[in-house]
Every structure is written in structure tokens, then in C-alpha cells.
Amino acid sequence: MREMLQFYIDGQWVDPVIPSTLDVINPATEEVCGRISMGSEADVDKAVQAAVAASAGFAASSRQERLDLLQSILDVFAKRHDEVAEAIMEEMGAPWKLAKFAQAASGPQHIGAALKVLRDFPFEEIHGTTAVVKEAIGPCALITPWNWPINQIAVKVAPALAAGCTMVLKPSEIAPFDAILFAEILHEAGVPAGVFNLINGDGPTVGASMSSHPDIAMVSFTGSTRAGVAVAQNAAPGVKRVSQELGGKSANIILDDADFERAVNGGVSACFENTGQSCNAPTRMLVPRSRLDDVNRIAAARAAGVVVGDPREKGVHMGPVVSAVQWQKIQDLIQAGIDEGATLLSGGTGRPDHLERGYYVKPTIFTDVSNDMTVAREEIFGPVLCIIPYDDEAEAIRIANDTPYGLSGYVSSSNLDWARKVAAQLRTGMVHINGASLDAFAPFGGFKHSGNGREWGAHGFDEFLEVKSVFGFEAKKAS
């Protein structure tokens, strides 16, 4: 039982201004596994004022000082890696292999990437007699989700530190343990007092107070599109910069010449990874109508091989979804697919038969889905795949783009030129060709309702920087 009842403000662990606690539920057991305090507007103000007080000094720190700080964080994180993975497994149900080698590992991956980018990042460029200077934007509000918790913390905190910004973090109250451990790591690594601050709490209270606070210069938010709209509305009166990474309903186009065994198996596995709780999951598989029977056979066999169970057990591919609320939402959407006439290829409503407790969902595949069905329109955020047939390339592209989202896309073909041609027509911030992995140095983000701004690599730095033109910085050369 974890008791983590303090906030990290101005380099110290402090009690909340107004005592209020929340039980944290282990989704694999449905039992209370810890308690945290829930913050108030007064706690947010304390944290923001600490960030404001530290802002000028940290913005003036040298590149080398920030490089040394990021390296120190990496060194301390390495000592506590398994502890972070254990927390993630407990709070959001990630199987141990995923928790250790993907979830927890994403933290040092992005910190290390930020360190490499920082070494040569052009904070100042000369254009003729003008200097174009990039400066820290100021105190930032960072609001992160529960599905890839340490990943989303690291992709905000690391570039903010590299840019010279101070910050206040509100992690998800559903999965808060890893963030508290991360604060301990930063403290041990020597992050100066006030540079990093952490407040636990919910979105309507702490999140709204952070995004509307007059002394916050920038808000970086990851979460649902609905919540992202609320954050932007709260920030608008202060004319703050708002960077958002929101929802997705990504299409996976398998072209007629693809290796179908590889592409379909890979697509099913990618959709079910992290129990389907990834914003960029390939949840709509678009396949040639003439190959639908083959696709159904391969996909059903892959789903049948997915082992669902206790995240602590070896060989488990898929743990529970994060909460009772999320479980019920997924059940309702699966039922909507059945009611609207989609063909249920595997899975369905209820828990897997061998599991009596925990927020477990059956790996579910619908086939012969039309793109106007609820399961094809809404972000389910669970292990639910829709297989949608198409008649030609133009229809595949039209279906792929027929969504309010635009986070990611996937294309499989044995002809790289064809795959590139299709990728160029997808209205998404990212495209994976033939199962290519993400690149920590490439920008991550989306079009349309999937957000604005970019994270990862050098593009992630820009969100935390203001640009200043200094005219006459260099003397004019004699003619």
C-alpha cells in the first residue's frame, strides 16, 4: 500500500493546503493499492510561484549546465528503472515486460534524445546583421495522461529543462505513482529548487487552475480531445501557447501487394499493444475487399493467441484496462458495434472467461465494418480493431481521411514507391510504412482534432521557446 500524500514544490515535499485524498485502484485486482492527496487552486498557486521565482535564474543557465543536469537525471533513473516499471504495472496494469522494456524505458529514451539534441541546438542564428534568438518561454504547465505515463512526462519535462524552462506537472490521478518517483529522481539528480514542481489532482480543479493561471506562459497537454478543448479554453484569456497531443483513430492501409501474413499479424498486435490504450494505435484496418476472407482468417488466429491476464504473470500479452469507467466505456462501444451490424470476428462484451476480477477486456475484432459505424468513428481506447474493406486505392485513402482525427497512419506494400504515394495523401502527423518503428528524434503529433504542436526531438524544443529578432546585432560591413 503506497501512501504518497505530499506534493513536490520548490525543491521540498510539502503537505497540501487543504487535506483531501484519493484511493488509487490496481486495475488487475480492483483493490486499493495506494493513496494520494488531491490538490487545490491554492496548491497550484504555490507551485506556480515557485516556478516563477526560479525562472530567470534557470533560463540564464548555460547549455553545459543543462547537459550535465540531463545526464545526472539519466544516471539516477537507471538506478530506479525497475522501481518505476513496478509502479506502472501496479497503477495502470501494464504487463511486466511492457512496463519494464517499453513503458519505463521510454523515460530515459526521451531524456537521452533531449540531451543529444541540446548539444547542438541553435539557440542563436545570425542572418545578415540580425540575430534570431530562441529563449525559454517561461513557467510551463504540464498535464499528462495515464496510458503511457512516464513517456508523456519525459517528453515534456526533458525538452522544458533543455530549453531553460521551469514547470509545474500534473500527472494523471489515476496512475500517479510513477510521476512521484520521477520527482524523487529529479530531486536526487540535482534539479534546482522551483524548476520542477508536482501537484496531484484532477483536471477540473488542478488542471483548470494551471492552464488558466496568469503566471503560466505555456501549457503542454496530452489527453482526450474533449479535455484538450477545455484546456485551450481555460488558457485563451491569458493568450498562452497551448501544445496538445490528443486522440486518434488511425487507419492501417494494407495494399493489395503487401505480405498479408506479416501486415495483418503486425496490425492486430499493434492495435492490442498496451491493451489498446495508445492514441496512435492502428484501430482501423483497411483491406482490399477481395482479400477480406484471408484477412479475417489471419486476424482471428492472431487474436486467439493473445494471452490476457495478471500483468505479473509471465507470458501475458495484455493486462487490464486502467479503470472501471474505461472498462464500461469499452463494453458500451463493443455493444454498439454489435447493435449496428458489424460482424464480430473475435472477442465481444464481458471479461475473458477465465478472469473473474479486474478490468479485463476480450481482444475484440469487428470485420466488414463501414466507416460510418460508431466503432469506426469513436476512439475506443481499448483492444478493439475494426476491419474495413475497400475497392480501390482512392477509396482506401478517402476512408482513411474520413475521420475528425489525424494523429497517425500506417501503410503496407511490397512496393515502397506505392506506399510513399499513399502516405503522402494521408492527413496525419505521422505515417508508418511497412511497420516502421517510431523515431525519438522525429516530431510526434497530429492534424485536425488530434492536436497541435509537436513533441520529440528538436521540434519538441520549439514548443518551450520564444523567438526574438535582434536587428542590428551585427555591424554592417563596409560596402
Nearest in space to 147 (alpha carbons), one of 178, 191, 108, 193: 178
435 and 425 in contact (C-beta within 8 Å)? Answer: no
| Beta-sheet pairing, 196-198 with 167-170 | parallel
| Beta-sheet pairing, 218-222 with 364-367 | unpaired
Cell numbers for 448, please give them: 485536425
From the list 173, 245, 455, 463, the catalytic residue is 245
Nearest in space to 11 (alpha carbons), one of 65, 58, 50: 50
Q: How far is CA 469 from the centre of its chain?
A: 33
3 given a catalytic annotation: no
Counted residue by residue, the chain has a size of 479
Nearest in space to 270 (alpha carbons), one of 254, 281, 256: 281
From the list 279, 379, 386, 455, the catalytic residue is 279
Give the whole-angstrom CA distance, residue 191 versus residue 157. 11
Give the whole-angstrom CA distance, residue 287 versus residue 416. 18
245 given a catalytic annotation: yes
Sign for the CA dihedral angle at 316, 321, 324, 330 comes to negative
Find the Cα–Cα–Cα–Cα dihedral 445, 449, 451, 452, rounded to 10°: 100
| Strand order across the beta sheet in which 343-346 lies | 343-346, 364-367, 384-390, 284-288, 251-254, 408-412, 430-433
208 and 195 in contact (C-beta within 8 Å)? Answer: no
Instruction: Please give the span between the terminal C-alpha atoms of the chain, in angstroms, as a whole number.
Output: 75
User: What's the DSSP call for residue 192?
Assistant: P
Cell numbers for 234, please give them: 481555460
| Rounded (5°) CA angle 465-198-232 | 50
Catalytic residue annotation? 245, 279
